[in-house]
Structure 1
Amino acid sequence: MKILTVVGARPQFIKAAAVSNILRKSHSEILVHTGQHYDENMSKVFFEELNIPKPDYNLGVGSGSHGKQTGTMLIKLEEIYEKEKPDVVLVYGDTNSTLAGALCASKLLIPVAHVEAGLRSFNMEMPEEQNRVLTDHVSNILFVPTKSAEENLKREGIDKGIYNVGDVMFDAILNFKKLAKNKNKIMKDLDLEGKEYILTTIHRAENTDHIDRLNNIVDALNECGRIVVLPLHPRTRKYMLDYGLEFNENVKVTDPVGYLEMINLEMNSQKIVTDSGGVQKEAFFMKKPCITMRDETEWVETVENGWNKIVGTDVKKILDGILNFVPLKEQKNIFGDGKASSRITKILDR
């Protein structure tokens, strides 16, 4: 069977690393990189350190408006699909690459398999929410990571082709955690060894594109009185310059880091403060308290389980989370057993 996989952003590279490793043992895979993330620290380094096969196609789409980016992907993907004639198109997550990969396949009547289907934040102003909802409704095979994701699909009238396989990012953590322990150069460079620190990521458009929200986040991190490590996303860096925002000395800003370095930073942190969906889960996997700087989350299980606190971008709430939030519950096994990739391959076999 010929499977064509579409990826384009950091979280998708991580998921593809776990799935492709199993998939290629029994099937032919064509890997297409849209180029949505094109910065070396956001793209190339992931392929190298996670041993992801070199993409068969790189569309080189780069940055741009949602319409321009998605439209360019559709045009280029159509040519590849018609040339390669895959049996199924596999997409991951909720980016513009996800939507373009799924929509193009659906128009050509090629079956679509969506990994990480069924997630909902119930905020349709988020580009990610629009992408995941639309992708689910044109997909034939929906691989959900949790029971709540399955229930979301059924409420929307999708009741066929749903498979609860567990979370492929949990697969990736289990696969790469040991390797990540040796990726401690950034710890030494920032003189972090033996020190407690808060690990932070900021990249969501709902925060970066609004000066009041980003200003509140910067103020809270500056005022928290803790060492904060912040691998800064290129978009966030741009908007901070545009808005004239600066961090205090307690916030150690670095360039984006590779996946193994990020796992290392997560493992050694005291708490994690983020607006990323993937990092919320990684915090849970690492058993680190997570403070989420959004008004809602698609990973509701992490909140219900008591390990994730939603604080929005209110300065006092962010500070309270950093200084006082402590999980009060033992973790439950809500993301599977780390064998989602094998289940996905077996289901595609059928």
Structure 2
Amino acid sequence: MKLLTIVGARPQFIKASVVSKAIIEQGGLSEKIIHTGQHFDTNMSEIFFDQLGIPRPDFQLDIHGGSHGEMTGRMLMEIERVMIHEKPDRVLVYGDTNSTLAGALAAAKLHIPVAHIEAGLRSFNMRMPEEINRILTDQMSDLLFCPTQTAITNLTKEGFSDKPVKILKSGDVMQDSAMFFARRASKPEGFNISDGFVLATLHRAENTDDRIRLKSIVDALNIIHNTVAPVLLPLHPRTRKIIEETGLALEVNLIDPVGYLEMIWLLQRCGLVLTDSGGVQKEAFFFSRPCVTMRDQTEWVELVEAGANVLCGADSCLITAAVRDGINRIVQDNEHLYGGGQAAPFIADHLSRL
């Protein structure tokens, strides 16, 4: 079988690293990779290929910037050209980015079967571009690899059990990656904070593009840093620029974005994760760290139900209180919520038997 894999953003590089490895080990499959270029700076893109041993992309589209519609449209055009030339038997897409949607749509228009890894996730917030991408990609896929039972339940409620599709509970390939690369974790340059710090990430548009929400979050970060525990914030240049332009002042430890292996090192040593990311919520759980999420909804509802994650939105008081209550607590994965690190071999095996 000739597979065409489409990636473009940080979480997709991490997922593809273990699935591509499993595809090679499985045998009987060939894979070519399109990198759309959605994440284009070194720390968000190239470093993952260097660190994780992902095969270099066969096609580099270098598409980034612009509105959602512009970016997705340009990706659709270029991905379609590659598909027409390569004639793959199946297209493999990951997650919920514009790259995911463009790849699935291009394949569907050309009647190429689509396998969606991380299918069935829902935050039930249609203001999130990711939610739109998830829903549409699932609708265009005939093979849905679901990371959790919750994801399968979501698809069942949407009528997928009556559609000509195959729904499989694969587990989460992010856990495969975390377990595989944990032994290769590396300390970020210039790091000098003792263990037990708060590891924060802040990038989601619903927070950074809303001045009121952003101010509340910055206030919370400053309070936590000054009264609870040191805050370490790897900050993307875009977010840093927005904060500067709005006249806000961060009183935390700021560093540039780090690679995946450095992020694992930080996760292994922090006392709590404070984030608005989807993937980092799970990464905290994989390394037994409590998580406080600065969003109003999450697609990873099982983590909230298990008490491993607390949703606080952008409320400064709620965020501060949740961090104070959760810092240095050890989170247990008693129910193996994400498959225990066997998702990639499961996916490769099923692809080989199609």
TM-score band by shorter chain is: over 0.9
2:192 is matched with 191
Letter in 1 for 2:139: H
Q: Distance in 2 between matches of 1:96 and 1:22?
A: 25
1:289 is matched with 290
1:18–1:172 Cα contact (<8 Å) kept:
yes
- Deviation of 1:74 after TM superposition, in Å, equals 0.4
- Deviation of 1:195 after TM superposition, in Å, equals 3.8
Q: Distance in 2 between matches of 1:158 and 1:316?
A: 41
2:103 is matched with 101
2:177 is matched with 172
- Deviation of 1:24 after TM superposition, in Å, equals 2.4
**Secondary structure at 1:120's aligned position in 2?**
coil
2:4 is matched with 4
Q: Distance in 2 between matches of 1:328 and 1:61?
A: 41
**Secondary structure at 2:42's aligned position in 1?**
coil
**Secondary structure at 2:5's aligned position in 1?**
strand
- Aligned pairs (5 A) from 1:57-68: 57-68=59-70
Per-residue CA shift, 1:195-249, capped at 9, x if unaligned?
421000011111111111111111111111221000102321221122122211x
Aligned-residue Cα RMSD (Å) equals 1.2
- Deviation of 1:335 after TM superposition, in Å, equals 0.4
- Deviation of 1:184 after TM superposition, in Å, equals 1.2
1:313 equivalent to 2:314? Answer yes
- Deviation of 1:329 after TM superposition, in Å, equals 7.3
- Aligned pairs (5 A) from 1:26-41: 26=27, 27-41=29-43
Partner residue of 2:131 out of 122, 129, 132: 129
Structure 1 alignment gaps of length 5 or more: none
Partner residue of 1:349 out of 345, 349, 352: 352
CA 1:329/1:90 → structure 2, altered by over 3 Å: closer, same or farther?
Answer: closer
1:35–1:62 Cα contact (<8 Å) kept:
yes
Partner residue of 2:74 out of 72, 75, 78: 72
Q: How many residues align?
A: 343
2:201–2:274 Cα contact (<8 Å) kept:
yes
CA 1:126/1:46 → structure 2, altered by over 3 Å: closer, same or farther?
Answer: same
Q: Distance in 2 between matches of 1:202 and 1:144?
A: 27
2:243 is matched with 240
2:280 is matched with 279
Q: Distance in 2 between matches of 1:93 and 1:185?
A: 27
Q: Distance in 2 between matches of 1:244 and 1:6?
A: 38
Q: Distance in 2 between matches of 1:233 and 1:329?
A: 28
Q: Distance in 2 between matches of 1:113 and 1:320?
A: 41
Letter in 1 for 2:231: V
Structure 1 stretch displaced more, 309-318 or 234-243: 234-243
Per-residue CA shift, 1:116-141, capped at 9, x if unaligned?
00000000000000000110001010
**Secondary structure at 1:163's aligned position in 2?**
strand
2:289–2:330 Cα contact (<8 Å) kept:
no
2:75–2:102 Cα contact (<8 Å) kept:
yes
Q: Distance in 1 between matches of 2:146 and 2:69?
A: 27
**Secondary structure at 1:344's aligned position in 2?**
helix
1:306–1:328 Cα contact (<8 Å) kept:
no
**Secondary structure at 1:94's aligned position in 2?**
coil
Structure 2 alignment gaps of length 5 or more: none
1:337 is matched with 340
Q: Distance in 2 between matches of 1:222 and 1:174?
A: 33
Structure 1 stretch displaced more, 120-129 or 235-244: 235-244
